[in-house]
């Protein structure tokens, strides 16, 4: 299975083109970890430390109630906000561009 390419814009505004495997059950929070995303709760949508803004026009799966509830408690939320931990690394997100939200 081919890796997907994702552009991650970190909190300093620096773009990183990274490739990530689709056969590791990874999520976007785990891929963003080395760019300053903490993932405090371990990927259970129980914190908003992996909030990111989707800047490409990919149509991602709809938010679940847990993700929506957590974003309701988060700051710096915009219409294109998502929790990275809820976005699986699959072939559908090849070319995705995301910007990491400010730390709370």
Partner 1 sequence: MIETDILIIGAGPVGLFTVFEAGMLKLRCHLVDVLPQPGGQLEEVYPKKPIYDIPGFPSVLASDLIKNLMEQIAPFKPGFTLGERVDIIHQQEDGKFQITTNKGTQFLSPTIFIAAGLGCFEPKRPPIANIRDYEDIGVDYIIRDPEKYRGKEVVISGGGDSALDWTIYLADVAKKVTMVHRRNSFSGHLDSVDKVMALAAAGKIDVVLETEIVDVEGSGKLEKVQLKNHNGELSTIDTEYWIPLYGLSPMLGPIADWNLNLDKKSILVDTDDYSTNIKGIFAVGDINQYKGKLKLILCGFHETTMAVQSAFSICYPDKKKHFKYTTVAGIEGF
Among 73, 80, 91, 95, binds partner 1 (CB under 8 A): 73
**Which helix H or strand E contains 30, and what residues bound it?**
helix 28-32
Among 41, 53, 88, 97, binds partner 1 (CB under 8 A): 41
Q: Is 69 in the site for partner 1 (CB under 8 A)?
A: yes
> Which backbone phi and psi does 10 adopt, to 5 degrees?
-80, -175
Among 15, 16, 19, 75, binds partner 1 (CB under 8 A): 75
Cβ-proximal residues to 71 (8 Å cutoff; 6+ apart), any chain: 48, 51, 63, 77, 81, 83
Residues that bind partner 1 (CB under 8 A): 40-42, 44, 46-47, 65, 68-69, 72-77, 102, 104
């Amino acid at each position: 299975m081919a890796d997907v390419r994702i552009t991650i814009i970190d909190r300093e505004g620096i773009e990183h083109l990274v490739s990530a495997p689709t056969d590791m059950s990874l999520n976007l929070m785990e891929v963003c970890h080395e760019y300053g995303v903490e993932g405090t709760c371990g990927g259970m949508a129980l914190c908003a430390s992996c909030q990111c803004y989707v800047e490409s026009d990919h149509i991602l799966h709809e938010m679940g109630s847990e993700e929506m509830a957590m974003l309701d408690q988060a700051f710096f939320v915009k219409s294109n906000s998502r929790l990275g931990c809820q976005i699986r690394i699959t072939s559908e997100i090849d070319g995705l561009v995301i910007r990491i939200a400010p730390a709370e």
